[in-house]
Chain A
Amino acid sequence: MANRQEILLTGAGGQGLILASIVLANAAVNDNKNVVQTQSYGPEARGGASMSGVIIDIDTIEYPKVTTPTVLLCMNQASFNKYMPKVKPDCTIIIDSTFVSGSYSDEYKVQAFPITRAAREQLGKEVVANMLALGVINAATGLVDREIFRDSIYKMAPKGSGELNQEAFDLGYRLYEEGTGQDIGVSAQTPQ
């Protein structure tokens, strides 16, 4: 893992992305790393665009906003269209194929997983899609020690939902290990 990781979690307000970024930042603190978490959102509680950033570094972090993401999560189409063109090709891009489809230049590494659908169908609760997404991200990047991450999720979850959230996180790992499916709605295209 490089010294500095900048993670951008994007989607719609209400998908739990700001909470996911707080959980990730907390896990990173518990893993003894320097971390800064910021967010940007409109006045709405649901709907509208939501973006949150986490910087994890071994050095002290001065400028707190994400400038060059090393990890990008897109949980809806609007965020994919907006942020995907702004990242560098070596950025790890993870998208929720439940909501996102489209094409992109094949110099990018885009990995698509049915994050929200898996939460709904396999766990019966769409609300844990954010923790599932964290599982996928951590499986892909190893940002934080897995066990420390699981403990942090348990501690931060509302009473009685610790196991469910951990299950979602583990399901994210399974999705990642199974790999990107065929029917994912996105396709790489060689630039003309």
Chain B
Amino acid sequence: MPESKPVLMQGNEACAVGAIHAGVRFYAGYPITPSTEVAEQMAVRLPDVGGVFIQMEDEIAGMAAVIGASIGGMRAITATSGPGFSLKQENFGYAIMAEIPCVVVNVQRMGPSTGVPTAPAQGDMMQARWGTHGDHPVIAFSPASVYETYYLTIAAVNLSQKLRQPVLIMLDEVIGHMREKVTIPETGKLMVEKSSSNVPSDWKPYDEKGLTPLVPFGFGHYYHVTGLFHDQYGFPTGDPPQVERALDRIHNKLKKYRDEIMFTNYIGHKEPRVAIVAYGCTVRSARAVVKKAYWQNRLPVGLLSLQTVWPFPDKEIEALAEQVDVIIVPEMNMGQIVGEVERYARGKAEVVPLNRYDGEMINPDQISEEVGRWLS
């Protein structure tokens, strides 16, 4: 098969292309820097593939329209940044509760509030986890390159369909706006989760026995959709055993399919003493450090990059902490994921935050300095 030709592509564009390749045919949202190019690209590309693009009156409506489209049988996505992400939280929680597949992209910028619109940050990582209320499960990916953005968007769409679970893509301004050389595979080579056409006759929308495929409205099954706790037919209930079962149900599907959700990658020394744990654009700076420290100088340094940030890669961190003296966690915030790393390191390794929050990217020198301090 002929190889596809390499092209120059922007992170946000790769997100739009990935979504369309994964079968997304609906976009609704409200443009905001630095996520606007996702909307722009969807507006250009969706009509060509028979899709629908709507610019809504605000981010709340964008999220609502995506949920509506999804339950109507279309794969749907929306993109935003910090301020819009805050607005989407309520409906996002609704989609988790009602188990409606969708993908929400947050291209993170410097906050709080309107912050610095064109500056990068990683300040929404905890909002991704706990932004919407209640004890909910969350899947969130954090790409570190244009190509990762492309394939994680496809993975997000697939997983959201398969698990009937909304998925977040936590980009940042650096990766979203950066352009680099990528080779996009031809569409025929992709694994795309198929919608189920043969549904059992006793299909229930929220079957107590476990995960059931979503049957869109208008395809012969009548059911109720609500944000209230519901029974297996979707009707509201306050019955304690049913409430407990329903909450277990939405959490257990993530546990059961952990292997398909969890993407992490380790590079570096086989027996590292100093490890870096990074996600998003910070991975690139960390990789530059490992390249020099390990590949060139054979120092006992390694990098665990987290493409999946939520659910948190607990076992991976536990295993890493067993091996190393120290884990350095560079983040473009005042320290968010470092708390999780500390929790799962369980005191087996020192956990050191490395933070930058001036609207600039953490550079390799900063990480290198910290690594050097622990090696000497």
**Chain A interfacial positions (CB closer than 8 Å to B):** 22, 25-26, 29, 32-43, 61-65, 67
Chain A residues with CB below 8 A from B347, complex form: none
Segment touching A, from B87-95, B171-179, B200-208, B238-246: B171-179
- Of the four ranges (under 10, 10 to 19, 20 to 34, 35 or more), the interface on chain B belongs to 20 to 34
A37 partner, pick from B180, B291, B363, B364, beta carbons under 8 A: B180
Closest to B180 in A: A36
Chain B residues with CB below 8 A from A29, complex form: 6-8, 181
One digit per residue, 1 when the CB lies within 8 angstroms of any chain A CB and 0 when it does not, for chain B 20-31 equals 000000000000
Which of A35, A40, A64 is the most central at the interface, judged by chain B CB atoms within 10 Å of its CB?
Answer: A64
Closest to B292 in A: A62
The list of the 6 closest CB pairs from A to B, nearest first, reads A62-B288, A37-B179, A62-B287, A36-B180, A29-B8, A63-B288
Q: Does B106 sit at the interface, judged by CB under 8 A?
A: no
With A29-B6, A35-B180 known as contacts, the answer to whether A64 contacts B284 (CB < 8 A) is yes
B363 partner, pick from A25, A43, A63, beta carbons under 8 A: A63
Assembled-state Cα–Cα distance A33/B8 (Å)? 11
Chain A residues with CB below 8 A from B180, complex form: 34-37, 61, 64
With A38-B174, A65-B361 known as contacts, the answer to whether A22 contacts B179 (CB < 8 A) is yes
Chain A residues with CB below 8 A from B8, complex form: 22, 25-26, 29, 35, 37
B134 to chain A, nearest CB (A): 36
Assess whether A63 is in contact with B285, with CB atoms less than 8 Å apart. yes
Assess whether B177 is in contact with A39, with CB atoms less than 8 Å apart. yes
Main secondary structure of the interface of B (DSSP, over half): mixed
Closest to B117 in A: A43
Using A25-B8, A62-B287 as known contacts, list a sample of 9 further A-B pairs with CB atoms less than 8 Å apart, ordered by residue number in A: A35-B179, A37-B179, A39-B177, A40-B118, A42-B118, A43-B117, A62-B291, A63-B364, A64-B178
Assembled-state Cα–Cα distance A25/B182 (Å)? 12
A17 to chain B, nearest CB (A): 14
Assess whether B288 is in contact with A25, with CB atoms less than 8 Å apart. no
Closest to B290 in A: A62
Closest to B174 in A: A64
Within 8 A of A (CB), among B321-359: none
Which of B117, B181, B288, B361 is the most central at the interface, judged by chain A CB atoms within 10 Å of its CB?
Answer: B181
Which of A29, A38, A61, A63 is the most central at the interface, judged by chain B CB atoms within 10 Å of its CB?
Answer: A63
Main secondary structure of the interface of A (DSSP, over half): mixed
Chain A residues with CB below 8 A from B291, complex form: 62
Assembled-state Cα–Cα distance A67/B361 (Å)? 12
Assess whether A38 is in contact with B178, with CB atoms less than 8 Å apart. yes
**Chain B interfacial positions (CB closer than 8 Å to A):** 6-8, 33, 117-118, 174, 177-181, 281, 284-285, 287-288, 291, 361, 363-364
Assembled-state Cα–Cα distance A65/B363 (Å)? 9
- 27 interchain pairs, CB-CB under 8 A: A22-B8, A22-B179, A29-B7, A29-B8, A29-B181, A35-B8, A35-B179, A35-B180, A35-B181, A37-B179, A37-B180, A38-B179, A39-B177, A40-B118, A43-B33, A43-B117, A62-B285, A62-B287, A62-B291, A62-B364, A63-B361, A63-B363, A63-B364, A64-B284, A64-B361, A65-B361, A65-B363
Assembled-state Cα–Cα distance A33/B174 (Å)? 21
With A62-B285, A62-B287, A63-B288 known as contacts, the answer to whether A34 contacts B363 (CB < 8 A) is no
Assembled-state Cα–Cα distance A74/B78 (Å)? 38
Closest to A39 in B: B177
B181 partner, pick from A34, A43, A62, A63, beta carbons under 8 A: A34
Closest to A43 in B: B117
Assembled-state Cα–Cα distance A190/B117 (Å)? 42
Assess whether A41 is in contact with B364, with CB atoms less than 8 Å apart. no
Chain A residues with CB below 8 A from B288, complex form: 62-63
Assembled-state Cα–Cα distance A33/B118 (Å)? 28
Assembled-state Cα–Cα distance A43/B352 (Å)? 35
Which of B33, B118, B177, B180 is the most central at the interface, judged by chain A CB atoms within 10 Å of its CB?
Answer: B180
A63 partner, pick from B6, B118, B177, B284, beta carbons under 8 A: B284
Assembled-state Cα–Cα distance A58/B99 (Å)? 46
Chain B residues with CB below 8 A from A40, complex form: 118
Chain B residues with CB below 8 A from A41, complex form: 118
Closest to A22 in B: B179
B294 to chain A, nearest CB (A): 13
Assembled-state Cα–Cα distance A22/B178 (Å)? 10
Assess whether B363 is in contact with A67, with CB atoms less than 8 Å apart. yes
B84 to chain A, nearest CB (A): 16
Assess whether A36 is in contact with B287, with CB atoms less than 8 Å apart. no
Assembled-state Cα–Cα distance A32/B183 (Å)? 12
Chain A residues with CB below 8 A from B287, complex form: 62
Assess whether B177 is in contact with A43, with CB atoms less than 8 Å apart. no
A25 partner, pick from B177, B179, B285, beta carbons under 8 A: B179
